[in-house]
Each structure stands twice: as C-alpha cells, then as structure tokens.
Amino acid sequence: MKKRLFGILCAILVLALFCGGFAFADGTAQPDAIETLVAGMSLRDKLAQMMFFCPRAWKEDASSDAPAENIQVLNDYTRRYLADHRFGGILLYGENCADAEQLLRLVADMQSANQSGGGLPMLMAIDQEGGTVSRLSFGTAGTGNMTITATGDPENARAMGRVFGEELALLGIDTDFAPVVDVNDNPANPVIGVRAFGDEADVVSKYGCAFMEGLHDVKTIVSLKHFPGHGNTDIDSHTGLPLVDRTLDELMAKELVPFQAAIDAGADMVMTAHIQYPQVEKQTYTSITSGEEVYIPATMSKVILNDILRERMGFDGIIVTDALEMKSIWDNYAIDDAIAMAINAGVDMLIMPAVRDKAMMEQIDGMLTRAVENTEAGVIDAAKINEGVTRILSLKREYGLLDRTDFAVTDEAVAAAVAGCGSAEHRQVAWDIACKALTLLKNENDAFPLNVKPGEETLVLFTAASRVGAAELSQKLLEDMNALPEGARLVGMTIEPDTAEACLEAAKTADHVLLVSRAWTLDCIDPSTEDGFPVGVVNQVIDALHEAGKGAIVISCQLPYDAACYPEADAILLTYGSGPMKTVPAESGAGSAWVPDLPAGICAAFGAVQPQGLLPVDLPELDENNHLTAQTLYARQVE
C-alpha cells in the first residue's frame, strides 16, 4: 500500500516538476516540487535513489559449479527485485549487451519493472569511452582518447562524443561515464594510458571539454573521471590501493585543471577515484585485510569532495563513486563503513558491487537495510542524504527523465536502434579519426610504406594473439579500397614462446614483414618478463630483415611507449589503440563493433592511408634494462 501511495504521489508531483514549484491561491510560494518529492520519500527509498545497481550476471546458487548467465533478459526474480528496491540508476556492462534490439528491450524492461513498484525513472548508465573501453559489443566502438588527441583537432573529440551519445540514446541509455580527464603524466600507469587525452593538463582540458560537448549536443548526461586524478599512479585501483603523494597546490596545477575546465563548461557528474592522497587527506582506516593503517581514499574524503570539489572548485552536480567492488575498496574497507563515509563526505550516488548471482542481490539488499539503520543511528548524516537525492532528482528533471511514464518498445524504436548503432556514417567518423591520428614517428630509408607487388605475401607478426584477426580484416579493407595488388595477401602469426622460432623463420622468407607491437603495461616492454618476451623476438626479426637487406616496420598499437624498444626499426607507426580481434567481424563495415586504429595503421603500411598524426605525449628513453628514464626520446607535438 505504501508503494502504491508513493507512486501516486510521484505521479502528481511530477506534473509540477517542470514549473519549478507550486503556489497557493493567495500567491504565496510553496516549496520547490523536488523538495516536496524528496520530503515524501521514505529513508529507504532515498538511499536506494543514491545507488547504481549493477546486474551483470545471474546464478541461482552461488556455490554451484554451473556458469553464471549474462543478464540480457530479466527473469522474474530480478524484475521483482527492481520493483521492490526502486534504485536511482542502473550501470550496464558488456555482459548486458548482445545486440541493439536486445539491449533496447532490456533497458525498457528494467525501467518498467522499477516503475511497477512506484519507482522514479532510473538513470541508465554505461562506460562508453571509446576504443579499449567500449561496453557495447555492437555499434561503433570508436577510437580511444589518445587517438583523438593525435589528430590535433578537438573537433574530432566532439564528433566522437556525439556519435556515442546518439547511439546510447537509441538504446534508452542516458548517462555515459565519460570522458576520462585524467592527465596521464606517469607512463607506468597501468589503468589509464591511452584512455587519457594526453599527459599535459591544458591538452586534456581542451579535448575533454570537446568530448563532453559532443555528448551534450545529443542530451547525454556526462560523468568526468576519475577525481581528483588517476593519471599519476602505478597501481590499478581495480586490483590495489594506489597512492598519489602530491600536495594540493601540485594537484591544482595539473590533475585538477581539466576537471575545473569541464566543471566550468557544465559537467553533470564527477566520478571519484579510489586513491589515497596523504598530503591532502590524512585520515586513516585500519585495513580489513592487512590490519595496516591506510589513508581514506578520495571516495570517502570530505576534504577532497566537499572542501575542494564543492567549495573550492564550485561543483554542484552529482558526485558518484567508482565501483565499490574494486579491490582498492573491497579489500581494505568494510562495505558498510565505505558507504557511510562516502555519503558523509558528500557522495550523491554509489556504484554498488556488481551482481553475478542471487546471493549478491541479497547482499545488496542487506547493504541498503544497514544503511537505513546507520542513518537512523546517526552514523550517516541524514542531511547529506536529502542533499544528494535533491541533486539526483534535479538532474533527472533537467534532462526530462522524470516525465517518462511509458517505456514500451515500439517497432519504430527497434528499427531506429538497429539502423543507427554502427551506422555507416558513425563508423566513418571513427575511421576518419583513426586515420588522421596515425603518427609516423620514424621513417628511414623510405621503408614506409611497403612496396608490395602482385602475388606477394606480407607476414604480419603480432605480439598479442588477441589482435591477430586484424590481418585478415585489413586485407578485406584494402581490397575494398582497391589498394592491394592482385594476388597479394596478408598472413598473421602471433609471437609466443612456442612459436617464436617459427615466426623468425617465416619472417626470413616472407616478401614483406609488418611487426605489430602491443604494450598494455610496462611489463610488455621488458624482454625479461613473460609479457615482454615478444619484444626480444621482434628485435631479432628486425636484425634478420636487415641481414637480408629488407626494411623493418613496427606498428605500435596501444601504449606508444613501446616505440623506444625498437631503436633499429626503419619505420615506427603509432596507432594508440586496438581492440580484441581474433577473427574478422561480420561484414567488415557492419556487425560487431571493432576498434579502427590498428586496421587503419596496417592499411597505411600499404599506402592506402597517409599518416598525418601528431605525438600527443612525451615518449621517454629506455635504459639498458628497458626501463623508463627521465630523458625524452620523442617530444610531444600536440599543444
């Protein structure tokens, strides 16, 4: 009965939300309708409104050996769960995304289930940064941020953001956890890297704001990340608890510059970083795993979120946590403490631990119940809850979400989603950006491009098996462009410990060789490590090609720092990104989403694309052990 009354109250109040408030017959003002709506909500509903629910997979019995099933269609339990809990938002992951029609119907079903229990329309969010972080397995994967910066034109950031926003809107998704505005000034960073627009604050500001404008052009809610900066870490907060030992003045001079620029330009949301900043926030907590004292991270810091972000930087939008299941949080802080401390610090929305089985759904329910109890006991500040919910509902009103009452999916909506996600126009935008970004870092002896004759074979050696399908796709693209001589073909092989000798012998006899290097961490540029083993083999191939009087072309397809590994290469081309591609996507111009950067680079090696990109970051020299030094080998060209 209480749910039904709450639903009726919501329906009545929503009618007035867009007028900003009510007035009595005598003309005196009533409270703003948002405030009235908040006042009518139960404490449990307010706290649920502050949560992003993350339904990734389903398993009835967590102890069973049976694999979990990706949640792509709601079962009865999950549908009832959404109706009962009335969350403020849903965060979708790759597991939820099969194709455009399926995802459109899933999103609508989630909204309808929530609404059936009297809930307000939820924010539907996803991480669609582009390139390596593209949750949709279909549509336009686009390029990553560093690729965009290499074009030297911020308008390309705006164009890419607009493409993502248009496709998400067709699917009923209104919130993109993007752009990343971290300044990647630490090449050893294991989690940001090419997700950043660059390593210089003003460059990141310029391109980050342009990307945000593209999303705003099509009314997509934007969330900056990861405040106050994840670019200067050497630990991934998904797997550990990073620490940035910089003063507030140092942060204001670099890390916070892009955040300030985007806040001034109208950012809607800011995502927190699970990172310690001991020179800014000195409060500690006893780690539940190690028993050691650790500093509380930005996610739980009132100094960082209230004093700096709110008061000093003037941000009054939504503060949302990064995922609370990340090991930086999960392994160090009791979850109930983390929730309480985050809300008290000024967080408005919490990304709850991802659900992969029924037991986790029950745990989320327990977390919500205990949050209610902690608020009633005074552990959580009730005033902070009211402030947070007011901001959430105000944002929903601003974007017209509160007036949604019908989430039925029409045939027209399905047709539009299927046609629009991955349209030829959108893919062309991404392809053009990938081509414009290609950076020919080095070209000696006119080694680049290849001079391929009819019937000749080009061996493409990959240092990562997950990218080998790019050879076959590139052949298809080259044929489509009439850029491959008759009978010429590309053959892909992967350099691994048990194939290294075969790759070396194949390179000696091939007509032409392309060496595709993929470094995703600094381990990949150290031949003494398992991940870096292929680097040594690539250099052996380079030596063998030179002995045979042939040129050696290296294509760097992710972190550009591996360029320093190949001083003897005749030519080095940077693409700044690539996507997993063990096989060719269905219909190279449609079907599954694929990242265009590496195929564009391979096509360029055949002269089909002209590299014109600018280096967006400084590339350091390596010492004799292939470790980074403080010396610059190639200097940034984008300003």
C-alpha distances out from residue 232 to 18, 254, 503, Å: 43, 10, 37
Residue 221 and residue 268 in contact, taking contact as beta carbons nearer than 8 Å: yes
The dihedral of CA 385, 334, 301, 185: what is its sign?
negative
Helices (H), 143-222: 145-150, 154-170, 201-217
Q: How far is residue 107's CA from residue 362's CA, in Å, rounded to a whole number?
A: 22
C-alpha distances out from residue 298 to 114, 154, 181, 295, Å: 31, 30, 16, 9
Residue 628 and residue 561 in contact, taking contact as beta carbons nearer than 8 Å: yes
Report the catalytic residues: 238, 322
The dihedral of CA 467, 469, 472, 473: what is its sign?
negative
DSSP 304: I
Q: What is the CA radius of gyration of the chain?
A: 26
C-alpha distances out from residue 464 to 323, 362, 592, 628, Å: 29, 40, 20, 22
C-alpha distances out from residue 331 to 290, 340, 380, 637, Å: 9, 17, 22, 41
DSSP notation for 265-283: TT--EEEE---B-TTT---
C-alpha distances out from residue 374 to 333, 365, 406, Å: 16, 14, 36
